[in-house]
Structure 1
Amino acid sequence: MSDELAAAGIRDPRLRAGYLRCKRLLAEHDKSYYLAALLLPPARRPFVHAIYGFARHADEMVDGGDTAGFEPWRDRILAELRAGDTDDEFGRALLHTVRTWDIPLRYIEDFLAAMTSDLTVTSYETYADLEVYMHGAAGTMALQLAPVLGARSEEAVEAMRLMGIAFQLTNILRDVGDDLQRGRVYLPGEDLRRFGVTEIVAGQRFRELIKYEIARTRSLYRQARAGVPLLDPAGRSTALAGMRLYGGILDAIERSGYDVIAQRVSVGAGRQLAIAVPAYLRSLLARSA
């Protein structure tokens, strides 16, 4: 929606181009995030696009084969963000977002450090180890998003961080097969041993392990949802819809018989719209009240 940028006061052509590129990348690769962002007032949506678009661009470089180019890009973009000027389209939109919402640059630094670890780290021994990675890879993104959603208290900000970690753990469970092909196993080693899983293959022990991890993920969602009432009204629908959309992936894993090795489950478009459309109408009513 072209009026989103005007509503946000973004008129500079070069800056608009960066925001639009972030939006296109988000719409192409992260339908759940994109639909959830539609529940925000138009003036706030571009900032969500910038945060997730920048993150998706970095993630695509790491996972999409441009590993040699990632570290030079990371070093350059961090230096330019600190200096306050960049020609990178993704970085330009993110820098404007950071300035608009007073977002600490350390969140971007921690996020890029987590992406860098994906170049060399292929497994995690404990859940505590994995949690550190998930905080960097997704918790920091949720922390960037927190002021846009109206998190004004420490409790609300922590709830958003837990939401990000829940999203990341959901991704990990969905992507077990894809990650295996990349030589990565994010499931904690201590959990593999607890369920007697000596290799990642289908079977009863592996199914029990995935059930355990799903229960852990749903606990994170419950903790995050408890903080939603602490957000500004404009952000509540977005946070709840995002958790329902992403939480639906866990339901899809269960329906598949916990087969996350041979296939990559997804939430169908019909289900996504069944969640997003009523939430969108409720958000319109709330804004007009």
Structure 2
Amino acid sequence: MTAAYGQQRALVRRFKAEEYLAVRLLLPTRLHPAVIAAAAFMHETDRRIDTGTSDARRKALEEWGTAALKALDGAPATCATLSALGDAAMRHPQLKQRVEAFLQGARHEVDYAGFGTEDELQSYVDGYSLPAFMLLACLLEQENRAEAAAFESRCRDLIEAMQRVDFLDDLAEDAAQGHVGLPGEELRRHGLSVEGLRAPTEAVRAGLEQLVREQAELAHERLTASRPLVNLVPRHTRPFITAMVQVQELRLRAVRRKGGSLADGGARPALPALLRVLARQYRAARRTR
């Protein structure tokens, strides 16, 4: 099992270096294996269902989901990712239910081809983004079940904010693939289209500027609503949650600054600002231990 966890650490360090560093610095050591196993499982699921025809992606999800559920029930795993996941679920029983919900919700990702309306975006967040986030969040949750509903509601606020920021940041990359994460009705209201975003003119950038402001404000509202989450997790995980929220604030400022130029590529927060967040929360984490 040590080898399986080692492979997952290397995987997460490679595709999510900043998040991996935050886990290692800000969370108690005893949580590292399970958090890494959950993150690696999400990544591997996305990898398997992200390419090919819709039918091929559905088949890949069905086969992968069957193997994952068997591993959770104690059957020999088919790969190191599922070995680590099965061991993590044995140590943290709440993870099994979250894996099942995530696999069920992954059908939204398989069928994803952009959104026609805001309602469709909300359904995607409820059906896929939130179950994915809860794979990690359930490992940080208070044992006090009286606060479970509030905890999940605030997690829902945070993941919607994160998802909206992602959709803005990935706008150019997504447009090149033929769909974006902004509702089609909102694009049309601003005289925009996916085709126009693929070859942006100054007129496109000007129209996008206002749309980015509106979408960023929606993300800001949900990020603000999520802040009580910090007080709904155990004290030793608060620096990690605080850092997560503060990093999203930095990302949101970056996409706001870039505005209509997001049609040309994404925006990244300044590295010194990210390092300051990490350093502050590392000091706070050390004080809790």
Q: State which of 110, 119, 142 in structure 1 corresponds to 2:133.
A: 142
Q: State which of 281, 284, 289 in structure 2 corresponds to 1:282.
A: 284
Q: Which residue of structure 1 aligns with residue 159 of structure 2?
A: 164
Q: Distance in 2 between matches of 1:113 and 1:177?
A: 29
Q: Does the residue aligned with 1:259 lie in a helix, a strand or coil?
A: helix
Q: Which stretch shifts more, 231-240 or 252-261? A: 252-261
Q: Which residue of structure 2 aligns with residue 42 of structure 1?
A: 29
The 3 A distance-change label for structure 1 pair 31 and 269 is: farther
The aligned amino acid for 1:71 is L
Q: Distance in 2 between matches of 1:118 and 1:269?
A: 31
Q: Distance in 1 between matches of 2:160 and 2:2?
A: 30
TM alignment of 1:1-289, pairs within 5 A: 15-37=1-23, 38-63=25-50, 70-71=60-61, 73-81=63-71, 83-85=73-75, 86-103=77-94, 105-151=96-142, 152=144, 153-154=147-148, 155-199=150-194, 200-201=196-197, 202-287=204-289
The aligned amino acid for 2:30 is A
Q: Which residue of structure 1 aligns with residue 201 of structure 2?
A: none
TM-score by length of 1: 0.83
The 3 A distance-change label for structure 1 pair 75 and 285 is: closer
TM-score by length of 2: 0.83
1:98–1:104: 8 Å Cα contact kept in structure 2?
A: yes
Shift of 1:114: 4.3
Q: Distance in 1 between matches of 2:52 and 2:3?
A: 25
The aligned amino acid for 1:103 is Q
1:54–1:94: 8 Å Cα contact kept in structure 2?
A: yes
The Cα offsets for residues 106-132 of structure 1, whole Å up to 9 and x where unpaired, read as: 533443344444444312122221122
Q: Distance in 2 between matches of 1:194 and 1:97?
A: 47
Q: Distance in 1 between matches of 2:227 and 2:135?
A: 18
2:89–2:96: 8 Å Cα contact kept in structure 1?
A: yes
Q: Which stretch shifts more, 253-262 or 36-45? A: 253-262
Q: Which residue of structure 1 aligns with residue 200 of structure 2?
A: none
The 3 A distance-change label for structure 1 pair 258 and 236 is: farther
Q: Distance in 1 between matches of 2:90 and 2:254?
A: 39
Q: Distance in 2 between matches of 1:24 and 1:269?
A: 23
Q: How many residues align?
A: 273
Q: Which stretch shifts more, 26-35 or 88-97? A: 26-35
Q: Distance in 2 between matches of 1:146 and 1:71?
A: 23
Q: Does the residue aligned with 1:265 lie in a helix, a strand or coil?
A: coil
Note the aligned Cα RMSD (angstroms): 2.5
The Cα offsets for residues 3-36 of structure 1, whole Å up to 9 and x where unpaired, read as: xxxxxxxxxxxx2222222222222222342233
Q: Which stretch shifts more, 204-213 or 26-35? A: 26-35
